[in-house]
A = this chain, B = another copy of it.
Amino acid sequence: MDSRTTAGGPRIRIGMVGGGPGADIGATHRFAQRLDDRYELVAGVFGQDPEASKTFGAGLHVDPSRIYPDAETMADAEAEREDGIEVVTIATPNSSHLPLARIFLERGFSVVCEKPLTTSVADALELHRLATSAGVVFAVPHAYSAYAMVREAARLVRDGALGKLTLVQVEHASGWASEALERTGHKQALWRTTPEIAGFPSVVGDLGTHAFHLTRYITGLELEEVSADLSTVVPERGVIDNAFVHLHLTGGVRGALWASMVATGQEHGLRIRVFGEKGSLEWRHEDPQHLVVRSADATSTTLAQGQARLSEDAARLTRVGLGHSEGFLEAFTDFYSDVADALLARRDGAPFTPRELSFPTIDDGVLGVAFVDAAARSSSASGAWTKP
């Protein structure tokens, strides 16, 4: 069998809200649903323009009768069908996550919801309440944590390879918006620099939460307090586009986190180094299939996806072989595949204990929003240490 499968049973029926024409993230979700062949996209609202949505959905081989004018109609109709969707992906701008997710949660659908979860802690807690009472699967695609070598990193930390942890340095510093793209008609730049949609600390929510989640995922530590310096680098931009943040994590571990959309010339810029008493590790998104482990004497060892020596946590996410890179779409597929395990268990009514290293949930989403909120408050308070 190619990979993690549905064991010959039918594919998981999934719907999508958002991700219409021009929305890269929607396409990413669909690639990831398809690659392992465990999902079938059967319904959707592909953007706010019903006609464009119809045309777009048809190109995706979605039955025209299941391309809906809005989320509420979709949720109602799908709830009626025997072959209705089992889960919906919400891939819309930040401020709409709560109202859209509410519609599906109240009707008992599982949800994959883009991050940052919401634009306020209050909204995040409300969404948490809704998800919990619905009792469904609620996944948040911090998909970087699904790279095989990130899983290997998390495994090494948990197995004590670094000894007691001491320090973390993490960055998600991209140069994508180092120019004022929002004034050139760039769709994503526009909404990400509109505080009402993206939230005022925009880059902290967009990229900072990825760096923050990656830190938590690999180290297993939680945030105690932050001291932040948020700023707006591009003149006249209405939101935060650069954030330097100091972290106090559980266990006395200190960290430095950098989130930026104005790190001119950098590609995606996600990178993490974790240090312990016995060694350290480094992972970079520009070379995701390798993991560097350094010992106290500065010997640097590079592990590669596909090696026989890797843990089951990494091996189970490897499709091809050593030296055949798997990239972002494969990581996103890994995320969806872990979600599929939970969804299938739910479909079968089987008890389900997630793996120790699995997909991020509503809990992670809420902690991400709390991090954004604390960073913003600290920065406003001249860098005072602030609890999330």
Contact = CB atoms under 8 A, between A and B. Distances in A.
Contacts of A56: 1
A297 B267 CA distance: 9
Contact of A254 (B5, B27, B229): B229
Interface string A253-278: 01110101011111111100101111
Contact of A322 (B27, B289, B298, B304): B298
A171 B175 CA distance: 20
Interface of A: 1-3, 5, 7-8, 11, 21, 24, 27-28, 30-31, 34-35, 37, 56, 58-61, 162, 166-167, 169, 171, 173-176, 178-179, 227, 229, 231, 233, 242, 244, 246, 248, 254-256, 258, 260, 262-270, 273, 275-280, 285-289, 293-304, 306-309, 319-330, 382-385
A231 B302 CA distance: 30
A280 B294 contact: no
A258 B298 CA distance: 19
B37 A233 contact: no
A323 B278 contact: no
B277 A294 contact: no
Given A267-B298, A294-B175, A319 B324 contact: no
B60 A296 contact: no
Max count, chain B CB within 10 A of own CB: residue among A56, A244, A299: A244
A300 B302 contact: yes
Contact of A277 (B255, B264, B287): B264
B275 A265 contact: yes
21 contacts: A2-B30, A34-B34, A34-B37, A167-B260, A169-B258, A175-B294, A178-B275, A178-B296, A263-B280, A266-B298, A267-B298, A267-B306, A268-B322, A268-B323, A287-B287, A297-B309, A300-B301, A324-B328, A324-B329, A382-B384, A383-B384
A244 B256 contact: yes
Nearest to A35: B35
B276 A264 contact: yes
A262 B166 contact: yes
Nearest to A227: B383
Given A229-B254, A384-B382, A385-B383, A298 B265 contact: yes
B264 A60 contact: no
A218 to B, nearest CB: 15
Max count, chain B CB within 10 A of own CB: residue among A285, A303, A330: A330
A66 to B, nearest CB: 15
B325 A286 contact: yes
B299 A309 contact: yes
Nearest to A289: B327
Contacts of A244: 246, 254-256
A229 B302 CA distance: 31
